[in-house]
Amino acid sequence: MGMLDWFKSIVRGEESSAPVPAASSAAGATADQSSELAGLNFKTAVDAHMKWKVRLETYINGTSTEELKVEVVCRDDQCPLGKWIHDKGGEKFGFSETFFDMKAHHAHFHRCAGDVLEAAQSGKKDVALKLLHGGDYVKASERVKMLLARMFVIASEGTEAIDSHVRWKGRLQAYIAGNSKEDLKVETISRDDQCTLGHWISGIGGERFGKDPVFAVVRSRHAHFHRCAGEVLAVAQQGNKAKALHMLEEGAYPDASEQVAEAIVHLFEQRKSAQA
């Protein structure tokens, strides 16, 4: 199993039945290197995160040589993952809802870990073990692992960016029908650098595929799509809802949207063929 497939299995909740990519052989070393993106080795980060349970358990049982402090463990910016989140991670993925979810759950996890450690240092060994093996600690830990895996998939394939593009039609339909709470503006929608896919194109996507001619097609088609989306929104805001809804179904908008999706699929399929 490749590294990307392993991360996908975590996202799907199938990790327990999926073999972990090796890191001892030369091939394993290559696989391990392939998990490094945006200044973070995601597999190492997952491994280090999951080792917190062992670290805390050995501390509770008195077999640890670590000098753990509650005021440090409860902070989310002291571990390698936390430092990345507050530095390069934020710079690279600050636009992503998944990143913000991971940041929040990672902070919650460390508060839970701090509670476990505090109970242990208060002499409440049974309470500490109970907190460690159930409740919020376990949920927070698993959530961080899943979100880390999802971030890797996003960085590798732009999955979230593609999904966000597909959702544009629903967002515009809801707005035109008066069922949306979004404050959409033509001058923003018409730009190709304000949405999730636009951020991916100018960020991670550009870094990974910037020299690929197919990526240039994605960029061009995406810019055209947003101009079309802006035209739909302008018509809707002029009070012509029927025409705006018709524009979503026929003409330039659906053609542009489909062309963006086709270009992205072509980009990823080309990469898979090259790796085969």
Residue 178 confidence (pLDDT) = 95
Rg (CA), the chain: 23
Tally of CB atoms within 10 A around 14:
11
Residue 31 confidence (pLDDT) = 45
110 alpha carbon, distance to own chain's centre = 20
Please provide the average confidence, as pLDDT, over all residues in the chain. 88
Q: Which pLDDT tens digit goes with each residue over 216-272?
A: 999 999 999 999 999 999 999 999 999 999 999 999 999 999 999 899 888 887 766
Residue 96 confidence (pLDDT) = 77
Give the HSE-up count for residue 248: Cα atoms under 13 Å, Cβ half-sphere. Answer: 21
Q: Which of 6-15, 19-28, 86-95 has the lowest mean pLDDT?
A: 19-28
Q: Give the torsion through C-alpha atoms of 180, 184, 190, 196, to 10 deg.
A: -70
Residue 253 confidence (pLDDT) = 97
3-class DSSP state for residue 276? coil
Residue 124 confidence (pLDDT) = 97
Residue 46 has pLDDT above 50, yes or no: yes
Residue 163 confidence (pLDDT) = 81
Cα separations in angstroms, 177 against 57, 166, 173, 180, 241: 55, 18, 6, 8, 8
Tally of CB atoms within 10 A around 153:
19
Q: Which of 84-88, 104-108, 150-154, 188-192 has the lowest mean pLDDT?
A: 150-154
Q: Domains for the chain: give ranges and CATH numbers.
A: 3-156 (1.20.120.30), 159-275 (1.20.120)
Nearest to 116 by CA among 103, 131, 99, 97: 131
For residue 17, the 8-state DSSP code is G
Tally of CB atoms within 10 A around 170:
11
Residue 154 confidence (pLDDT) = 76
H or E element that contains 157: helix 136-157
Q: Which pLDDT tens digit goes with each residue over 71-119?
A: 999 999 999 999 999 998 988 787 777 888 999 999 999 999 999 999 9
Residue 22 has pLDDT above 60, yes or no: no
Residue 21 confidence (pLDDT) = 58
